[in-house]
Amino acid sequence: MRVIVVGSGIVGASCAYTASRLGAEVLLADAAMPGQATAAGAGIVCPWTSALADDPVWYDLACASVRYLPGLVDELTERGPADVGYRQVGALIQVHSGYEQREVRQRLLARRAEAPEIGDVAALTGTEARGLFPPLREDRAAVSVAGACRVDGRRLAEALARAAVARGAVITAGRAQLVCQRGRATGVMVKGQVIEADAVVAATGAWTGAFLEPAGVPVAVTPQRGQIVHLSVAPADTGRWPVVLPAGSGHYLLAFEGSRVVVGATREKGAGFDNRVTAGGLAEVLRNALAAAPGLAGASYLETRVGFRPVGPDARPLLGPVPGVDGLVVASGLGANGLTMGPYAGAVAARVALAQPPGIDLAPLDPLRAAEHAAAAG
């Protein structure tokens, strides 16, 4: 069976890897669009603290995704070293009051019964928090969540694509155009050449609407621009610094090996596919980072990355077969959580493309859901 996966971000790379493992002949096409979300993403894996956790569909998928990651990372290292920056470093939720600290701690402890991956949950003083992440302000207490992880999305996607190639997948560079005939996706056209397949997977991130146009189906995915700043605190050893989530701000800080601290990020609707770094974006990110961690004021500026989060009609991913178009599968709309959920979502998409049981209920994730309603209403 031949499967064409369009898009080699985290979702497409994972899909190509799983489809290859399941014995499919895989072609992975990517147009190297500026603003790939995977290459810009921070890499925080800590869904239990998200406001979205109140949606059981989103939360179950997020928890399944968290459980899927360690085994996947192990698989990738079986054939040789693959440093994907994955580490359980824990997270600190910075709080403003003792009341908030108790409330956050109790909410996490209640969730832990069904999600033991959350690990130890502890109340820390500001001084204790600063002992773990030295640039932090000392007057903010925190709740620590031992199970939180971080991963380098760019490296994970590259490692997945390499592992797919090792199992026979072929990578092609160029913009793919969907080819549909009589209600069926029959393949794609890349650089003027038509390539046929039994199934096509649209792992095209924020560009999914444009890719699906030839199928004549409305899909509600829009880009949400994120600007994120990388700093160096050399020569500090940052490899085990936790993720920091200042409560209520929507911003965060995390660290990787090599004295690298990542702070972000903007969430900009309406910027379209404009992938510029803006003065306002930089100011917002740095203001929030320094408010949480004034000790970063002396850090060196390394770079700013810009990515387009693929945002669907609601927070749930768009995942599964496209009703009315045989052979077409969508895996998109992962929004701000695609580095957490993308590896799992890509694997589910591969199973759907190969007509295997997906392992989850796809009905609430119907790729056409709200766009259909909007089209009918308007």
Ligand X SMILES: Cc1cc2nc3c(=O)[nH]c(=O)nc-3n(C[C@H](O)[C@H](O)[C@H](O)COP(=O)(O)OP(=O)(O)OC[C@H]3O[C@@H](n4cnc5c(N)ncnc54)[C@H](O)[C@@H]3O)c2cc1C
Interaction of residue 309 with ligand X, rule CB under 6 A: yes
Contact stretch for ligand X (CB under 6 A) within 30-38, 112-120, 126-134, 284-292: 30-38
Give me the 176-205 binding string for ligand X, x by CB under 6 A, dash otherwise: x--------------------------xxx
Tell me the sheet residues that pair with 181.
Answer: 184
Interaction of residue 315 with ligand X, rule CB under 6 A: no
DSSP string, 23-76: T-EEEEEE---TT-HHHH---EE-GGGSGGGGSHHHHHHHHHHHHHHHHHHHHH
Instruction: Answer positive or negative: Cα dihedral of 222, 357, 324, 374.
Output: negative
Nearer to ligand X, 23 or 70 (CB): 70
Contact stretch for ligand X (CB under 6 A) within 31-39, 72-80, 89-97, 280-288: 31-39
Nearer to ligand X, 29 or 93 (CB): 29
Minimum gap (Å) between residue 304 Cβ and ligand X: 10
Interaction of residue 8 with ligand X, rule CB under 6 A: yes
- What is the three-state SS of 269-308? CCCCCCCCCCHHHHHHHHHHHHHHCHHHHHCEEEEEEEEE
Q: Which of 338, 343, 364, 367 binds ligand X (CB under 6 A)?
A: 338
Interaction of residue 44 with ligand X, rule CB under 6 A: yes
Q: Three-state DSSP class for 264?
A: strand
- CA 59, CA 136: separation in Å to the nearest integer? 30
Which single residue brings its beta carbon nearest to ligand X?
A: 338
Residue list 232-291, contact with ligand X (CB under 6 A): 264-265
- Report residue 52: phi and psi, to 5°: -70, -15
Interaction of residue 9 with ligand X, rule CB under 6 A: yes
The one-letter code for the residue type at 238 is: T
Q: Other CB atoms closer than 10 Å to residue 361's CB: what's the count?
A: 11
Minimum gap (Å) between residue 222 Cβ and ligand X: 13
Contact stretch for ligand X (CB under 6 A) within 101-109, 117-125, 339-347, 370-378: 339-347
Nearer to ligand X, 44 or 360 (CB): 44
Degrees to nearest 5, angle at CA 240 with 287 and 82:
110
Binding site for ligand X (CB under 6 A): 6-12, 29-33, 36-38, 40-44, 153, 175-176, 203-207, 211, 226, 228, 264-265, 307, 309-310, 332, 334-340, 342
